[in-house]
Homo-oligomer: A and B are copies of this chain.
Amino acid sequence: MQFKNNSLTQMFDLKLPLIQAGMVWVSGGKLAAASAKSGILGIIGAGSMKLDILKEQILKAQKLSGESHSHRLALNVPLLYPGSKEQIDLALSLGIKIFFTSAGSPKLYTTYLKDKGAKVVHVTSTPELALKCEGAGVDAVVIEGFEAGGHNGKDELTTLVLLPQVVDAVKIPVIAAGGFYDGRGILAALSLGAQGVQMGTRFVATKESRAHPNFKEAIINAGPTSTMLMMKKIVPVRLFKNTFYEEIKKLEDDCADSSKLLLKLGKGRAERGMHLGDLIEGEIEIGQIAGAVKNIPTVSDLVAQIRSEMLAKLAELNLFFTP
């Protein structure tokens, strides 16, 4: 049994309706290339990269994926950082044609990017914001639920609640993110009307990810209750429960204001945790599904496994029904 094209797989020439998320300190050129070569969309996460590093990672991704796969490379650009326009222009100049924008207004660069012939996907957390994305002219939206790792919406809508409401609200393809890690999940998302799924945490724990080995180990050792959404007074972020988390929790339990939280957070916490591997005092951004991830495969093996899980579950599902 094979997956046929839908509007999303057609748009990006995907062999499976699956997208590897662009994550800060995790999604470098090697990971994105391995994804593109495996027939899914491979996203480089620009969030943590200075321009020279970004250039290096894009060139690496293009070289590793080769001419027949590099059209499946994309760039994730969080718009809250000051250098996002320069990142976009650099990527355009290197031939990147797919942009996932987040943490800012979809109006900011969508027209600019579309005029250059690029595809634009914006990340959103409510049906209302999804409609604004559609109005701004994006080609698709990613909906990201409460269970997702890293930064999160303030309304705490879960993927299961958010997804069908966005599907019913917009005409463009909807990509579901937050809480997915296997083939069953893709089938569930398709059932709810998504055209594809974006996975983050699952791809942190792959051989090709740029995450520090300690970070990968933390995921495969995590339990079902190892994460919590914190720092709601600044920007909500889902954290792995370590010493840094405990310190933030204590501050929040004591009703600390945002200035005290920002002081504790300081600078470079995410790099310290996710890139340098300090599991104690570093900030480890991770999805709630971490507890279900139990191995560190190659991307190629992972994608093959997800595909076979999806097909097996569909066959099983059909057994429950008679014509």
Contacts and interface: CB of A to CB of B under 8 A. Distances in A.
Contacts of A2: 321-322
Contact of A323 (B1, B191, B317, B323): B1
Given A165-B291, A291-B165, A322-B1, A190 B317 contact: yes
Q: Could you say which interface size class chain A belongs to?
A: 35 or more
- Report, nearest first, the 5 A-B pairs whose CB atoms are least far apart: A255-B255, A160-B179, A188-B188, A187-B191, A188-B191
A26 B146 CA distance: 28
A155 B95 CA distance: 44
Contacts of A164: 182, 184-185, 292
Contacts of A182: 164
Interface string A107-138: 00000000000000000001110000000000
Given A193-B184, A255-B255, A126 B225 contact: yes
A292 B224 CA distance: 28
A157 B146 CA distance: 9
Given A184-B191, A191-B184, A224-B127, A6 B160 contact: no
Contact of A6 (B157, B178, B320): B320
B185 A158 contact: no
Nearest to A166: B224
A23 to B, nearest CB: 18
Interface of A: 1-4, 6, 126-128, 145-147, 155-162, 164-165, 168, 178-180, 182, 184-185, 187-193, 224-225, 228-229, 254-255, 288-289, 291-292, 311, 313-314, 317-323
Contacts of A1: 321-323
B179 A161 contact: yes
Contacts of A291: 127, 161, 165
